[in-house]
Amino acid sequence: MSSTLNLPKNELMNLAQRRMQDHLLQMPDWSAPEKLALTCRILFDNGHDSCLAGQITSRGADAGTFYTQRLGLGFDEISASNMLLVDADLQPLSGEGMPNPANRFHTWIYRERPDVNCIIHTHAFHASVLSMLETPLAISHMDTCVLFDDCAFLADWPGVPVGNEEGKLIASALGDKRAILLAHHGLLIASTSIEEACVMAIQFEKAAKMQLAASAAGTIRAIPEVLGREAHDWIITRKRMEATFFYYARRAMKKYSDIFD
């Protein structure tokens, strides 16, 4: 006789979350540069490639420092060995080369959001197309509810992103959200972990692609707020984010042999 067929939904959800803690695959103890290199390859394979545009950063051990990729290399060329550690003025502390000058707005977000440990900014194709319409991201499907009520929108484009003005503008518009669509620019994720940020960036681009396709076919219908929040909280647990990242990482490691060189 089943012991769960009469349980309410909230108890079944709690039971499933507890079981995930015990049974989902344990991710290796990769360093921040290794996880960032994996993230670059993962995002390259999931529609985020835009030549040399885009930055992926993660806080360093010392206050005011963060890891980022070397300017001049594409996401498909990033490995753990060519990551840079820079200070708040974007001066390299370790590694060769220079960071993207646009990393300046990352500094502002890290200053304003002590909860943020990883920032991903890309010019993914569908998110960039949506940004040209000056239209906020619509979350109306279960798969993309990781972004439900967690994505801001910045309608103002300040031009070349190397000044402090953009850092202040983006940090203010982001508020306490984990994501933001930047008009005439691209997407940005500000998350508690590299794993979470990577998964959210993938879902952001998927949500933009789905929104453009659905809008061409008809009118997008909103999902109930209470169910959207429920799905958001169900998806965005640390264990699920790590398990999903680990899946994408396994795919990347099968394809690329130089990630950890």
Q: Is 112 exposed, middle or buried (0-12, 13-18, 19+ CB in 10 A)?
A: middle
Reported as a pLDDT band with limits 50, 70 and 90, residue 3 is confident
66-93 confidence digits (pLDDT tens): 999 999 999 999 999 999 999 999 999 9
Mean residue pLDDT of the chain comes to 96
Residue 1 has pLDDT above 60, yes or no: no
Quick one: tokens of 239? Answer: 């264990």
Give bridge partners of residue 92 from the DSSP assignment: 86
149-176 confidence digits (pLDDT tens): 999 999 999 888 788 988 999 999 999 9
Listed range (19-28, 32-41, 110-119, 240-249) with the worst mean pLDDT: 19-28
- In angstroms, what CA-CA distances link 190 with 55, 56, 100, 181? 12, 10, 18, 12
> In percent, how much of the chain has pLDDT > 90?
94
Reported as a pLDDT band with limits 50, 70 and 90, residue 95 is very high
Quick one: tokens of 78? Answer: 């990033």
pLDDT at 162: 84
CATH number of 29-255: 3.40.225.10
Average of pLDDT values for 7-29?
94
pLDDT at 221: 98
Average of pLDDT values for 111-130?
98
Q: H/E/C letters for each residue in 122-137?
A: ECCHHHHHHHHCCCCC
Q: H/E/C letters for each residue in the chain?
A: CCCCCCCCHHHHHHHHHHHHHHHCCCCCCCCHHHHHHHHHHHHHCCCCCCCCCCEEEEECCCCCCEEEEECCCCHHHCCHHHEEEECCCCCEEECCCCECHHHHHHHHHHHHCCCCCEEEEECCHHHHHHHHCCCCCCCCCHHHHHHCCCEEEECCCCCCCCCHHHHHHHHHHHCCCCEEEECCCEEEEEECCHHHHHHHHHHHHHHHHHHHHHHHHCCCCCCCHHHHHHHHHHHCCHHHHHHHHHHHHHHHHHHCCCCCC
